Structure 1
Amino acid sequence: MLTVVRLVTAAVLAFTGTAADPVRDQQKWVLDALNVEQAWASTRGEGVTVAVVDSAVDPDVKELKGRVSSGPDMSAGAVQREVRPGRHGTAMAGLIAGSGEDDGLVGVAPAARILSLPMAIDDEPGFSMPPMEEDGPAADSPLARALRYAANHGAQVVSMSIGSYGPLRSEREAVSYALGKGVVLVAAVGNDGQTAYAREKSTSYWSFPAGYPGVIGVAATDKQGRRASFSSDNLSVLVSAPGVEVPVVKRGGGYELSEGTSSAAALVAGVAALIKSRHPTLPPEQVAQALVAGSKGGPAAGYDDQTGFGVVDAAAALDAAARLTGAKRSVEAGVKHFGEGEDSPVPTRPGPDPLRLGLYGGGVLVALAMFCGAIVLLNQRKE
């Protein structure tokens, strides 16, 4: 099967900020939509590493300086090559963990670290890498290699603003492996909401890795919290986040505006990092549950395939995560409490009741003795 990996940013717009209108003002609506500043009262992502599976992250931009580690080129397999910093990966890393240095862009988890796992080239038309073919179950795709590397090198969250139209067995297995290691996986659902197919069928093609079970699929919303027209709509959508006119860091420094589910996914990966910082042992499925429970502005029916359960609220998600961990503690405490009382009686062994069996046996013996006695008396009378 051939699969082309795409970076799923729809467009990059001109940045309109000036000296009197800095990037922090431009991004205020994004932080407000996610209720990030309230969440920062609890955590800013300390102790968490987020793997960015994307083009390479520029470690020298001021917002990320000193907090980026780089893994090998995941697209090259056994042959390693030098990878240049990419525009898209740098932008996504800034949304996740930008420090706000010198009034610069601030990410959702500004104290988190970034593990850059390059597997795509975003300097060519189409933002893609050459197709790869999976020959049998042993072949690993670049994404499968990246997920295993992230899980084995300390990442607690993986952000994947990439997509392909075909699922691969090696990727499904790598997703299961990472989830089994407790790693939270977040992916963009794609930007196919305005395709001819989507208009005709009222649903979009599924994009992977967002479509794999256990991956948190993120749709894009606008400034009013409505689904962005380009955002893919299908059942891979779990939650949503801002994806229209979102300020991002440029490779080499500076800023620009982005549109796409890429930005939305990176922002939700940042919220997942906040949750893992505050509750490091919370398993991936409960992180997803906390994101869902804390979401706002959801559809009247509770869920739809356009915005999922609603727009992520970082502070509410942290509260939901605390309730989940609290529930676990209360159950454990209850078991201990109820186990400290008087020991229960040993259960009766299966089989006949010895007392009843004895009474029955005694009765049979008495009856037998009386029967024998009657026979003796009859015999004596005959004589």
Structure 2
Amino acid sequence: MFRQQPPAWSEPFISRPLEHPLQLTRPFDQITREWAWENATGKGIKVAVIDSGIDATHEAVGGPVSSYASVQEGSDGIYYDTLPHTDAHGHATACSGIIRRVAPECELYSVKVLGNDLKGRGLIFASGLRWAIEQGVQVCNLSLGTTKKEFYALLHELVDMAYFKNIILVTAANNFPIPSFPSMYSSVISVASHPGKDPFLYYYNPKPPVEFGAPGINVRVAWRDHKWITATGNSFAAPHIAGLVARILSKHPELTPFQIKFVLYALAANVSKERTPHNPYEE
């Protein structure tokens, strides 16, 4: 019998201690909100808001934006304008205000891929996501998506790239019953709306692809020109979960994407023993 080389990808499983030992999460019934995020603020966690650009001067944003990139397309192809910008619409400022409400000390990255009509090209969107991944952010809030199937493979490649780099992508489900990408991919955290007002109240959906429900119906959000509006949409549910993820990671930076999903599942109001399920429509 001749000796064969081990199959590809076998190296991490050879019989010696790992160079980077894995950190264990708690048993399911010991995962509590106190352990997961109490006293955490999101400090040290980079959160990219890939959207219409953040207005850093709005009171809801509550602090500076750490980095900017406005994705542009010129005669020579895609390029990134990294000068400070403002919000072309109001949408990104709304999402950023929610994130900072939940994780006030997180570092925001403004990735501008949408215009003042809240529309953008799929290639611009994908390029913005690629830029955020290359910056080494830990969380991306994607309150946008595309229904165009020609971008399915490209976005899937980027989502997988993020997953294997331990970057959490929190995506808003489409507001209409039409599949949109990347919210339909299994490796993202897909979010839809419930009508509650408590920013820390969310539910698990046992029938994915949409996995969690967070406040997103008639919520008061920041808007352009330092204004506030009452708005409805899955766009505003996703940043509630993105903020929670930032809080969890600031306390437990070793957690991987699938561990983060497990913690979120364990602490959902309709799963956790800490919260008594109730009807948010009665709030």
TM-score, normalized by the shorter chain, greater than 0.5: yes
Give the SS at the match of 1:63: coil
Instruction: Give CA-to-partner distance per residue, 1:121-144, whole Å, 9 cap, x none.
Output: 1x22xx312x45xxxxxxxx2233
> Is 1:59–2:56 an aligned residue pair?
yes
> Is 1:91–2:94 an aligned residue pair?
yes
- Report the equivalent of 2:113: 119
Q: Contact (CA 8 Å) 2:46, 2:109: kept in 1 or not?
A: yes
Stretches of structure 2 that go unaligned for 5 or more consecutive residues are 1-31, 199-205, 272-276, 279-283
> Is 1:43–2:43 an aligned residue pair?
no
Q: Note the C-alpha offset of 1:40.
A: 6.2
Map 1:130-145 to 2 at 5 A: 131-132=121-122, 141-145=123-127
Give the SS at the match of 1:59: coil
Give the SS at the match of 2:171: strand
Q: TM-score, normalising length from structure 2?
A: 0.72
Q: Contact (CA 8 Å) 1:54, 1:120: kept in 2 or not?
A: yes
Which one has the bigger helix percentage? Answer: 1
Q: Note the C-alpha offset of 1:80.
A: 5.1
> Is 1:177–2:161 an aligned residue pair?
yes
Instruction: Give CA-to-partner distance per residue, 1:325-350, whole Å, 9 cap, x none.
Output: xxxxxxxxxxxxxxxxxxxxxxxxxx
Q: Contact (CA 8 Å) 2:173, 2:234: kept in 1 or not?
A: yes
Q: Note the C-alpha offset of 1:211.
A: 0.9
Q: Note the C-alpha offset of 1:148.
A: 2.4
State the number of aligned residues: 227
Give the SS at the match of 2:262: helix
Give the SS at the match of 1:73: strand
Q: Which runs of 4+ in 1 moved over 4 A?
A: 35-40, 79-84
Q: Cα 1:149–1:294, aligned 2, differ >3 Å: closer, same or farther?
A: same
Stretches of structure 1 that go unaligned for 5 or more consecutive residues are 1-34, 98-106, 133-140, 193-203, 226-232, 299-309, 312-383
Q: Contact (CA 8 Å) 2:36, 2:248: kept in 1 or not?
A: no
- Report the equivalent of 1:78: 78
Q: Note the C-alpha offset of 1:165.
A: 1.0
Between the aligned partners of 1:93 and 1:74, the Cα distance in structure 2 is 18
> Is 1:162–2:144 an aligned residue pair?
yes
Map 1:318-357 to 2 at 5 A: none
Map 1:1-383 to 2 at 5 A: 41-64=38-61, 66-76=63-73, 77-79=77-79, 84-86=86-88, 87-97=90-100, 107-121=101-115, 123-124=116-117, 127-129=118-120, 131-132=121-122, 141-167=123-149, 168=151, 169-192=153-176, 204-223=177-196, 235-297=208-270
Q: Note the C-alpha offset of 1:297.
A: 2.7
CA RMSD of aligned residues (A): 2.8
Q: Cα 1:219–1:293, aligned 2, differ >3 Å: closer, same or farther?
A: same
Q: Note the C-alpha offset of 1:36.
A: 8.9
Which one has the bigger strand percentage? Answer: 2
Q: Note the C-alpha offset of 1:61.
A: 1.5
